[in-house]
Amino acid sequence: MEDKKKKKLKSKIKRNVVGWLIMLPTLILFTFFVWYPLVKNIIISFFDTYDMNNFVFLQNYQDVFKDDYFISAFVNTFKYILWSIIIGFFIPMIVGLFLSEIIHFKGFFRVAIYIPCMLSGIAVVFLFQNIYGDEAYSILNVIRSLFGMERMDFRSNADIVIPLIVVAMTWKGFGGTSLIYMSNFQDIDTNLYEASRIDGASPMQRFFKITLPLMKPTILTLLILQIISVFQVFYEPMIIAGQTATSAMSLMQLSYYYFTKMEDTKSAATSVILALIIIIITIIYFTIVNKLNNSKEKSK
């Protein structure tokens, strides 16, 4: 018996050692490129210079909160979230539903909607920068000229620049999300729909009483991931609207703006504030998911 226990212990130790050796390169890279910069960034935010000579505690955070740029960027970031939900959240769901119902050329449509996801993000942003430009040959201005309207610089219009940027972001990424929705729609048991048809349920009733409840975990997960992603919007407003345009500046872009102005500590403080917001959203997400899972277990 003791020999067997020793052999089991040795095999466990061997497996653990092998597992840690496999993960070690990844852990080293992760520590060097993620955890070390993260911890150092937090420490820098409490000093007045990058050299960390004078400890000022929360002074950088106070300066950031008093800055008009921060207020604009903070409000704009939530505008991005609002417009991303209005424009970019429901479109993939609708497209995924249509893809799941299509019979002919389904493979063609899958590839067609996924092509933008394979393009470089920078290339897509430059494409939409030209579409929204004030030049006479930009696409939107060409369309306006057909109706006898004067040309317009959409990028400098504070009322519509954020929705236009969200349109570019949605075009770039909706294909992959649509395919996720499509696969989830197809996994729903068709017997549920057949039974509802027999009971006289309309397509809308089937959608709201069968499809949406079964899709709730997926919808919630993709919603939170989209919000977190939008909080980190950076190069899209910087390229389309301009680096210093307050009408479209995001928190991530503001952190970079401080960095270019040689205000490293304020840049660090801004990124920490952004990280805290994302952490809070993540905690809320996991709390909701746990409640949903607990309610499911109780119902069973």
Q: pLDDT digit string (tens) for 51-96?
A: 777 888 888 899 999 888 899 999 998 899 999 988 888 888 888 8
Query: How many Å apart are CA 57 and CA 278, to the nearest integer?
Result: 22
Residue 174 banded pLDDT, cuts 50, 70, 90 = confident
Q: Give one DSSP letter per residue of the chain, joined into a string.
A: -HHHHHHHHHHHHHHHHHHHHHHHHHHHHHIIIIIHHHHHHHHHTTBSSTT--SB-TTHHHHHHHH-HHHHHHHHHHHHHHHHIIIIIIHHHHHHHHHHHH--TTHHHHHHHHHHHHHS-HHHHHHHHHHHT-SSTTSHHHHHHHHTTPPP--GGG-TTTHHHHHHHHHHHHHHHHHHHHHHHHHHHS-HHHHHHHHHTT--HHHHIIIIIHHHHHHHHHHHHHHHHHHHHT--HHHHHHT-TT-TTT--HHHHHHHHHHTT-HHHHHHHHHHHHHHHHHHHHHHHHHHHHHHHHHHHH-
Q: What would the pLDDT profile of 110-150 be if each residue is shown by its tens digit?
A: 888 888 888 888 888 888 888 888 777 788 888 888 888 88
What residues are paired with 180 via a beta bridge? none
Average pLDDT over residues 10-29: 79
* pLDDT at 2 > cutoff 60: no
Average pLDDT over residues 1-10: 64
Angle between helices 90-101 and 161-187 (to 10 degrees): 40
pLDDT at 9: 65
pLDDT at 232: 84
Q: Which residue type, as a one-letter code, is found at position 43?
A: I
pLDDT at 122: 87
